[in-house]
Every structure is written in C-alpha cells, then in structure tokens.
Structure 1
Amino acid sequence: MTNSLPQFGSFIEMARKSTLLTAGIVIIGLAGSAYFFARDDITALLSPDSQSAAQSQKPASAAERGLPVIAEYASLMDEKTVVEAVGTGKSALGVLIYPAVSGEIDDILVRAGDRVSKGQVLVILDSDRERLARDLAALQVKDAQQLLARYEKARPLGAVAESEVDSARTALAEARIELDQAEVNLADRTILAPFDGIVGIPQVEAGDRVDSSTVIVTLDNIESILVDFEVAETRFDNVRVGQSVRVETWSLPGEVFTGVVESIGSRIDPESRTFAVRARVPNPNSRLLAGMSFAVYVDIEGKKYPSVPEISVLWGDEGTYVWRIDDENKVSRVPVRVVKRTNGRILLDGPISEGDLVVVEGVLRLRPGRTVSASVRGDAPVQGAGGVAARDGVGEGS
C-alpha cells in the first residue's frame, strides 16, 4: 500500500502535463488562424502606405472590365427567291429530214453521230431518169438557141417574119425553163444537210423505197440547248427576258449549267395556272442532248436586308431580338423580325443598320445597359457592298 502512493502521484503529474501541452497547441492554432484572417488589417495598421499600394495592384472587377462577348458587324444582303421548275431540253436547231420526192435509196453517206456542215450530202436517191431528163432539156435549149440565131440572121433579108422570130424566142425561154425544172428534179434526188449539226441514227438503208412522208434521218445543232419549262402565274411579273437561270440534269448529277431566259409566253394556261418560259443554255462540249429533263432554278431578286449570324438572334416573350453594342460598349436589346434564314445567317427587318455591332456569343448574362468587352469577329462591312441571300432548298415549281 505504501509503494502504490508514489506511483499514483506520478500518473497524476503526467496527465497534468499532457493537458497543458494540448491546451498550448490549441491556443497556438487559434492564434495562427486569427492572424491569417486579420493579416490585411494588421498590415494596414503597421504600414498604411503598403496597404494602399496592394489595393492599387488588385485587378479590376468583372463589372469594371466589362462582360466578355464575341460580336460581329451586321451586313446588307439581297433577299433572293429561287423559283424551281422542271423543264425539257430541245436542240436550238433540230429537224427530221424527209425526202422531197419518192424513190429508192441509192446511198447513205453519213452515220449516227457524224458532225456535218451545211450543204453536205447525206443521202442519194436513184436519179437515172432525172439525169436523162436534164440532158434532154439541155439539148432542147441548144436547138432553140440555134433556131433563134438563124431567124435573127434571116429577118433583115425579109426571109423570116417578125412573128416567127418572136416564136423562136418564146421556144428558147420555154426550153430553158424545162432545163431548170429538170435540174431541180435531179437535185431533189440528193438530200443535203440544211445546217451544221450532228446526225442521228438513219431510219432507212440503201435499197429502201421512200416517199415524202418517210423520215430519213434526224439532224440537231446542240451548240446551245433550249429548255422549256413552266412557272406559276404568281411569278409572271418577276421573270424577265435575259434573266439568269441555272439548270441541272439527272443524267449528269452534280453539274450545274448556266443560261438565260430567251422568251416568255404571252398567256396563262387556264388549267395549270402557269405560263411558258424558254431558256437558252450554252452547250460548247455537247454534253447536253435534246430531250433531256432538267431541274431549272430562276433567281428572283428582292429587297436588301441587314443580316447577322443565326446564333445572334434570340427569342423572348416579346418576340425575336438581338443585342447591339453602342459606342460606349453598352448593350441594348433591339426587337427584330426574321425575314429569311440562309447559309447560317438571318435576314432581319428592324432598326438594325449595316455596320452595327451585334453580340454573337456570350448573351446569357447580358442585361440592357451592361458594359461589355467585345472581341469583334470579321471586318467592318464596306458600305454598299452587300451579299446575296438565296433560298436554300425552298422554291416554287410548276
């Protein structure tokens, strides 16, 4: 019992020291925290000048800098409506060649696809009888000339009456007419190309009997193609002669050919409520053929409107609007009306002018009158140098 008392006292002494150590650690921690949170005030009390310098080195607040946004200048664009139609091509010059007379095919001098010149021989009919008739007429002309010459020599001598001389002159004239007719009959046996063009597939062969109703061959000049199509009556005042058109054919996918309106019909079809239009499309490489079907696009010009990127136009309870930046870098909410969307841009009708700076990105935290710091995308538009807005995939067909 006597030995246990000293041991108990030692234990109490150790516990007391541990408690004091813990309390000291807590006090040191509290003091460190207090200094951390109050160090600016302490520094200000110790050195006011240094505190002022520190504050002057702090960056400006977001309100002072201005809210960062991306902006772009509004530009003017022409509103353009594209009228779509389906048309049929035909050669600028194209004929079915018939023989002028009946007869038997003696020879065919061309093949399908041949390019021929005006006056070139295409087909020859048998012509033996016509050649003989021409030779006989030529002899009759010669005889009539000789008879008239003898009469004219004898008339001064009184051997031939004046009436006989006149009759000889008439006979010579008739003989010459007969010769001319024989020449025409012989020429009819040879079929010539009426203009430069490409020969189609001959419809006859040598030895065939033909008459004036038999198609011999086709001939087409396709240096340019005429495309006939119809446009809705509501566009009669918008289509003009000389207006540009674009055509595509399903035979050559992906290729676009340009032409002009050549003629416009003078009346409206009462059943379809459309009018006829013909366009001429140059075809220097002969890639387009008569009879092809075409998709036709006619561009109709409209008014000029300010245009902005599509993402800059917002929708609210009161309608559509954009954010415009003024000269003091403050934004205002401008109500607008959407005229047309095209190629990522929107044509607007409203109090927006060419060259106005419009917010494109960063619109979520904008409020009227707020200062912004704008990063301008693109250059300021040149006055009067507007673009063209076409209707994408929206057109009018017949």
Structure 2
Amino acid sequence: MQKGILAVACSIAVVIGIGTALGLGGPLVDRFLTDEADEAGGRGAEPQSVRTAGAERSEIVEQFSAVGNTRAIRSVDILARTAGVVTSFDIPGGTRVDAGYPLVQLDDRAERAALRQVQARLGDAQATADRTVELSDRNVAADASVDTAQADLDLVLAELDAAQVEVDDRTIVAPFAGTVGLTDIEIGARVEPTDVITTLDDLSQIEVIFNLPESLFLRVEAGQALQAVGTGSDRIFQGEVAIVGTRIDPVARFFEVRGLLDNPDGILTTGMLMNVDLTLETRDSVSVPELAIVNVGEESVVFVLADGEAQERAVRTGLLQDGSVEILDGLEDGESVIVTGLQAIEDGDPVEPEDTASDQEAVPAAEAAP
C-alpha cells in the first residue's frame, strides 16, 4: 500500500513538472490529478483469504496422570496352623481354585485317634445324662446328680470340638476363591506354622495404588472414574477410585489413592506397573482448534471473523484436548475464528474465508464458458 502511494506521488510530481515546462497549464494537470486520485482510492487493500473454524461446545475431560502398582483385591500367604509332616498336596500353581479347596494334607493319624476316643466317651456321657434325668423324673435320683451328669456331658462335647479342630488343622484349604501361587514343599517334608506353603490371590478385581500431589486432595473422592494401561501393553482397564488416603506425607507432600480395576480375564496380577489417568472433572465448554490461538506474552488472543474483518479478541484458555483448546472466557459458541495466516493479520484487516473466495473466482470462469 505504501509503495502504491509513493508511485502515485511520483507520477503527480512528474506530470506537474512536464505540464509546467510545456506551458500546458492547469487543465491537463487537474485532469491527471483527478484520475490518479480516483484510481488510488479504488485500489483499497485486498481482503486476505483465510481458513476459519467455528467455536463449538464439546465435552472437556480434566484428567491427572500418575504411575501406580497393582495388588490383588485379596491376597494371603498360605501357612500351616500347626507343625506336621506333609502326606499329600495338590497346589496347581497359576490355577484358580474355589474356597475350601484342599491344598495340603498333614499327617493326622494321632489326631483322628484322639477324636475317636472322645466320640466314644461322648456316647457314655450322653447315656449317663439321659438315665440320670429319667431317674430324677421318677424321684429316684437327686437333682444334684442330674447337674453333675449334664456337666460331664458338656465337658465331653467341648473335648470333642477341640479334637475336631486338631484334625481339621491338618488339612490346609483355600480360605477364599483365588489363584494359587507356586510352592517348594514335597511329600514327607515337615512344615512349621511360620513356613509359607504357597500364596493365594483373588484376581477378580485388581487394586491399583498411586500417589497424588497435595494440591488435588480436595478434588479426589471415591467413585471418580479412572483408567490404567500396563507398561508392556496397550490394553486399557477401566475402574474407579475406591479409597482416598486420609493423610498427606509431610515430606513428599503427596497422599495415597487406591482404585479398583475390573480384571475379568485375569490378565492383571500383583506387582505390575500401571500408567493411571484419573478423571477429576467432566464439563461442557467452548473450544477452538489449537491453531487459532496466538500467544502474546502472557496473553492469549484469537482473531474472530466478523463483517469481513479480523477482530482481535483476548481469551482465557483452559485445557488442551485432542488438538482443541478450551476457552473459559472471551468467545461464544458459534463464532468463527481464523486459523491460517495469523502472522500477517492485524486487528481490523479485511479478510474472507477461502470457500467464499473460491466461489467468487469461479463465477467469471463460468460466465466465460461458451
């Protein structure tokens, strides 16, 4: 535009000089000045062709990422309740078993013999108590004799319960349904109550444990959705927050969160490293393509297409999601923003969308066709 003005000015100066030298005077000069001024005025800045995009409402999901470790929802070390010698075992490592499944049998011959002795005494005690009650009813036996006989019967019943426990303790069973781990025991080996025979994990659900910064403490609660991906896999596991820790580490300034993941295929197990994405909030916001944002210092602006002009608009941005930027303030749903040529555009410059410019160029070509 400045070059055009300069060229017109030079032309006017030359014409004035020539007209004066030839004595042609005012009419020629006046006519030239009028023509040049009209031409310069008609040559306004051409509208710049730009691409635009609409500001649209979309679902914004605010997430926080962390790294966590997995743990079975229930997990125990299988121990013997009493010392004994292994007579048989069935520990199918890596296989799921039902609650009550017999894993190990210890030698229980002495305990079963003691149980039979108590059972025999129980018969005598029961018969004595019944006979004493009958005699008491006929006023043959004193009431004190009935009480004594009943006390003896109760004592034998207690001994029976204890003998049965001793027998049951020699059979080690799965306390709940789960996946059995490995074992190193052999038949004939003696085990002590402190020896870990095997492990049992309930992997129907997996607990993922991770830490979050103190700044999020008031924003995290049970029930919030999360998803996790293993470091060696691209499969996404869905879950939710189960427990939020009640204490903040005074040194590291974080708190512990425990989430539950569904594990129907039993793919996850204890001790795995997981990348966790916790959903803090889901909201409906206006968003525009990332290309529409121009950063000027600490301020963010967009250029809105309105009445054939580029209007600069300061905006307050939020999250970046899938190539779009959330607009918290400064832009309304449905407005058109410019996404190309932003380096050469200033506030108030004439612009037109590319599709409009293409239509206008196509009209003369269509009229010229025979």
TM-score by length of 1: 0.71
Aligned residue number for residue 353 of structure 1: 332
- Alpha-carbon distance in structure 2 between the residues aligned to 1:281 and 1:65: 60
Q: 1:371: how far off?
A: 4.7
What does residue 367 of structure 2 align with? none
Indicate conservation of the 8 Å contact 1:85/1:296, yes or no.
yes
Instruction: Choose which of 319, 329, 344 in structure 1 pairs with 2:323.
Output: 344
Segment drifting more, 152-161 vs 199-208: 152-161
Structure 1 pair 96–372 and aligned structure 2 pair: CA distance change class (3 A): same
Name which of 335, 355, 374 aligns with 2:314. 335
Matched with 1:287 is 267
Higher relative contact order by CA 8 Å / sep ≥ 6: 1 or 2? 1
> CA separation in 2, counterparts of 1:74 and 1:210?
72
SS of the equivalent of 1:242 reads: coil
Cα deviation digits, residues 161-198 of structure 1 (max 9, x gap): 33223222221221122112211111111111111101
* Paired residues of 1:224 and 1:283 also in contact (CA < 8 A): yes
Tell me the alpha carbon deviations over residues 190-231 of structure 1, each in whole angstroms, 9 at most, x when there is no partner. 111111101101242221112221212111110111011111
For residue 105 of structure 2, what is the aligned residue in structure 1? 124
Deviation sequence 1:56-103 (CA, Å, 0-9, x none)? xxxxx9979954332111124566553232222110011111111111
Match of 2:117 in 1: 136
Q: 1:26-45, aligned counterparts within 5 Å?
A: none
Aligned match of 1:262 in 242, 246, 270?
Answer: 242
Match of residue 279 from structure 2? 299
Deviation at 1:263, TM superposition (A): 0.3
| Equivalent pair of 1:323/1:359 in contact (CA under 8 Å) | yes
CA pair 65-154 structure 1, distance change in 2 beyond 3 A: same
Paired position in structure 1 for 2:93: 112
- In the alignment, what sits opposite 1:15? none
User: Whose radius of gyration is greater, 1 or 2?
Assistant: 1
**Paired letter, 2:128:** L
How far does residue 260 in structure 1 lie from its aligned partner after superposition?
A: 0.7
Q: Which amino acid aligns with 1:347?
A: E
Q: Mind listing any 5+ residue stretches in structure 1 that lack a counterpart?
A: 1-60, 378-398
Amino acid across the alignment from 1:373: E
Query: Normalising by the residue count of structure 2, what TM-score does the alignment of the two structures yield?
Result: 0.76
* 2:218 aligned residue: 237
Say whether the 8 Å CA contact 2:62–2:319 is kept in structure 1: no
- Structure 1 contact 63–371 (Cα < 8 Å) conserved: no
Farther off after superposition, 142-151 or 329-338? 329-338
1:203·1:215 contact (CA, 8 Å) conserved in 2? no
What amino acid is aligned across from residue 83 of structure 1 in structure 2?
F
Cα pair distance change 1:99/1:66, threshold 3 Å: same
Q: CA deviation at 1:300?
A: 2.6
Gaps of 5+ in 2: 1-41, 357-370
Please show how residues 216-255 of structure 1 align to structure 2 within 5 Å: 216-250=197-231, 252-255=232-235
Task: Decide whether the 8 Å contact of 1:78 with 1:301 is kept in 2.
Answer: no
Partner of residue 5, structure 2: none
**What SS class does the counterpart of residue 227 from structure 2 fall into?**
strand
Distance 2:277 2:152 in 1: 67
Report the Cα distance in structure 2 between the residues aligned to 1:138 and 1:249, rounded to whole angstroms. 57
**Counterpart position of 1:373:** 352
CA deviation profile, 1:209-256 (whole Å, cap 9, x unmatched) = 122212121111101110111111111112121111222222x33222
Cα distance, 1:367 vs structure 2: 5.3
Contact residue 109 and residue 123 of structure 1 kept, 8 A: yes
State the partner residue of 2:24.
none
Aligned ranges for residues 162-173 of structure 1 at < 5 Å? 162-173=143-154
TM-aligned CA deviation for residue 344 of structure 1: 2.7
Q: Note if contact 1:87-1:230 (Cα within 8 Å) is conserved in structure 2.
A: yes
| Percent identity (aligned) | 30
Question: Within 1, Cα distance between the matches of 2:128 and 2:293?
Answer: 102
CA RMSD of aligned residues (A): 2.9
> Any conservation in 2 of the 1:71–1:376 contact (CA below 8 Å)?
no
- The one-letter code sitting in structure 2 at the alignment partner of 1:345 is S
2:75 aligns to what?
94
Equivalences, count: 315
